[in-house]
């Protein structure tokens, strides 16, 4: 049986470069993320982690190279891109829930508008998802009425409602009060255990040790290390990674 080997990687970035003016933020990035893998992206501030995440669903255009999701190269702006984006769920540091819509409507908007599901079907799925992330009782409220942790779980439900192939998380717990971090991490661990392909920018060591299959360490726009989590945390190879780890582990 060679179907697993024949399947394309879920995410493939080849020779990706990106500049902001003179600043070279992504330098010749080459990665392949197989289906079901959970990748943690680490690195100092400004190293390009967010930009990489955003490039993967083309919220940020790249200058050169190619990014493919499940074997399909990301098209330029337009209909095809919107469709492909729907396959990639994204969770933001600031949640970015639609402020004028209830939690339930936040979750159903994409399925109804993009997947053309009926309101009734979308609501049913949305309630199941909200149940799963533990905030079904908040469905009728507006985002501003929820705690940060609840908002972030709603944002995860909103992304999952599109039945994405990949989930991207850009520092999903950085804007949360410490007591709410775990509830969001638990939700993410649940997803990882179910086999979701995930790219997670996070400095949460607990999550990395518990759920990650792989660590990418970025510095100055380059992937400096691409390693097994245990290996990376116990014996980082590069000076830059050692330096970085010594800083975050003392915090």
Partner 1 sequence: MNVIIENFPLYVDGLLRTLQICAYGFVGSLVLGTILGAFRVSPVAPLRWVGTAWVTVFRNCPLTIVLFFCAFGLPEVGINGLYFWFGVTGLVLYTSAFVCEAVRSGINSVSPGQAEAARAVGLNFGQSLSSVIMPQAVRTVIPPLGSVIIAMIKNSAIVGAFGVGGDLFAVGQGLASAQGKAALPVLTGVALGYLVITIPGGLLLGILERKVAIAR
Ligand X SMILES: Nc1ncnc2c1ncn2[C@@H]1O[C@H](COP(=O)(O)OP(=O)(O)OP(=O)(O)O)[C@@H](O)[C@H]1O
The answer to whether residue 47 forms part of the interface with ligand X (CB under 6 A) is yes
Q: Give yes or no for residue 43 binding ligand X (CB under 6 A).
A: yes
**For the chain, how big is the Rg over CA atoms in Å?**
18
Out of Mg ion, ligand X, partner 1, none, which partner does residue 144 contact, by CB within 5 to 8 A per kind?
Answer: partner 1
| Residue 50 binds ligand X, judged by CB under 6 A | yes
What is the maximum span of the chain, computed from C-alpha positions, in angstroms? Answer: 55
- Selected range binding ligand X among 44-52, 100-108, 123-131, 155-163, rule: CB under 6 A: 44-52
Estimate the share of the chain in helix, then strand, then coil, as percent rounded to the nearest 5.
Answer: 40, 25, 35
Sites of contact with partner 1 (CB under 8 A)? 57, 59, 77, 79, 82-83, 85-90, 92, 94, 96-100, 109-110, 113-114, 142, 144, 155, 158-159, 162
Span 34-73, contacts to Mg ion by CB under 5 A: 50
**Position 20 contacts ligand X (CB under 6 A):** yes
129 φ, ψ (degrees, to nearest 5): -65, -45
Closest CA to 204 of 150, 147, 249: 249
Nearer to Mg ion, 81 or 175 (CB): 175
Cα 139 to Cα 12, 19, 151, 177, distances in angstroms: 36, 41, 11, 22
Asked if 106 touches Mg ion (CB under 5 A), the answer is: no
């Amino acid at each position: 049986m060679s179907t697993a080997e024949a399947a394309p990687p879920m995410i493939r970035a080849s020779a990706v470069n990106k500049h902001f003016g003179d600043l070279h933020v992504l330098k010749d990035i080459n990665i392949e993320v197989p289906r079901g893998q959970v990748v943690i992206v680490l690195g100092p501030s400004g190293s390009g982690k967010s930009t990489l995440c955003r490039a993967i669903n083309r919220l940020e255009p790249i200058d050169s190279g190619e990014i493919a999701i499940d074997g399909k190269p990301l098209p330029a702006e337009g209909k095809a891109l919107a469709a492909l984006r729907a396959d990639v769920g994204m969770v933001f540091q600031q949640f970015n829930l639609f402020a004028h819509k209830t939690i339930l409507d936040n979750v159903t908007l994409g399925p109804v508008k993009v997947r053309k599901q009926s309101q009734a079907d979308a609501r049913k799925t949305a309630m199941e998802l909200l149940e799963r992330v533990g905030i079904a009782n908040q469905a009728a409220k507006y985002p501003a009425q929820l705690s940060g942790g609840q908002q972030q779980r709603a944002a995860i439900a909103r992304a999952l409602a599109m039945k994405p192939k990949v989930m991207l998380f850009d520092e999903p717990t950085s804007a949360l009060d410490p007591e709410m971090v775990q509830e969001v991490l638990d939700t993410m661990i649940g997803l990882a255990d179910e086999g979701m392909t995930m790219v997670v920018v996070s400095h949460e060591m607990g999550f990395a040790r518990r759920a990650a299959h792989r660590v990418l360490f970025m510095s100055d726009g380059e992937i400096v290390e691409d390693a097994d989590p245990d290996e990376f945390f116990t014996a980082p190879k590069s000076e830059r990674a050692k330096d970085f780890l010594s800083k975050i582990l003392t915090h």
